[in-house]
Structure 1
Amino acid sequence: MKLILTQEVSGLGAAGDVVEVKGGYGRNYLIPQGYAMAWTKGAQKEIDAIRRARSSREIADLDTAREVKAKLEESAIRLSAKAGDTGRLFGAITPADIVSAVTAAGGPAVDKRRIEVGKPIKTIGEHRVTVRLHPEVTADVRLNVVGS
């Protein structure tokens, strides 16, 4: 089955890529979740629009990505969230929360879709998240979650 990815899917491709997948994976997961749409001959214009949007959000060259990585890794990001007496949060920390904390700390602008949180952050304390800045560059960010 031939599909056009509308969002980045790890292990498969980036937004705007045309991929060949098994039918069940495409029909039952990628299309219903909004990660892909069916490929047609007239969809080339949509592919071009998706690629233009992706290129405007991406960090273009490797040197810039390395500079952003250095800025992210040297700063400890502090995030305040509501927590109970035992240190468990009421809810979880989302990538959008992390992006707002990075910008509030004076860090560089990061796309929330580039942030990978391994397991949900539901406790106070220090956590690590990964930010994919470039296909060759990833940054490990220290996130200090404090209760409020």
Structure 2
Amino acid sequence: MKIILKQDIKKVGKIGDVVEVSDGFARNFLIPQGKAISYTKGNFKQLEYLKKKEIDKKEKELNEAKDLAEKLKNVSLEIKVKAGEKAKLFGSVTSKDISEILSSEYNIELDRKKIDLKEPLKKLGVYDIPVNLHKNVISQIKINLIPDSESDAKIKEE
């Protein structure tokens, strides 16, 4: 039976391929699971249309990622945090915190999973944090963790 694959399937083919498989494999597994559709001229034309649409979508995502990378080049975050002795923070700054600050201060919506923070920031200082916007587009955010004036006053009193 000829089918058109809707997903990559090991040892069978890649998405969009027209392949010949056994009738039972197609009827009992691939088609009911939504991994393939039977081959007809109409389905093939529909698949070509979907491929073009997918290419346009990927191109649009890449362009949006490049635009966002341009915006992020000019971003330098100054985050006031409570710190104790030896510049150690009370708590930490996570990718979620960075994402929320970008959203509130710069109106840049960025998923926290795209911020490549190996571990939470726990000391004062300047950090260059990579941001994976797309598999081909990587940008950086400069983050400066500065002590909050209240925590400075408490340290001086002691």
TM-score norm. by structure 1 comes to 0.57
Is 1:111 matched up with 2:111? Answer: yes
Structure 1 residue identity aligned to 2:128: R
Secondary structure of the residue aligned to 2:71 is helix
For residues 89-122 of structure 1, the C-alpha deviation after alignment (integer angstroms, 9 at most, x for no partner) is 0122111110112123314110011111134311
Computed over aligned residues only, the root mean square deviation of the Cα atoms, in angstroms, reads 2.9
Structure 1 residue identity aligned to 2:90: F
Equivalent residue for 1:102? Answer: 102
The number of residue pairs the alignment matches comes to 101
Offset, 1:142: 0.4
Secondary structure of the residue aligned to 1:105 is helix
Seen in structure 2, the aligned counterparts of structure 1 residues 80 and 63 have a Cα distance that, compared at 3 Å, is same
* Alpha-carbon distance between aligned partners in 1 of 2:82 and 2:101, rounded to the nearest angstrom: 15
Equivalent residue for 2:144? Answer: 144
* Alpha-carbon distance between aligned partners in 1 of 2:9 and 2:113, rounded to the nearest angstrom: 20
Indicate the percent of aligned positions where both proteins have the same amino acid: 24
* Alpha-carbon distance between aligned partners in 1 of 2:59 and 2:88, rounded to the nearest angstrom: 36
Indicate the structure with greater helix content.
Answer: 2
Q: Gapped runs of 5+ residues in structure 2? A: 1-6, 11-29, 36-57, 149-158
* Alpha-carbon distance between aligned partners in 2 of 1:68 and 1:101, rounded to the nearest angstrom: 16
* Alpha-carbon distance between aligned partners in 1 of 2:86 and 2:98, rounded to the nearest angstrom: 22
Equivalent residue for 1:91? Answer: 91
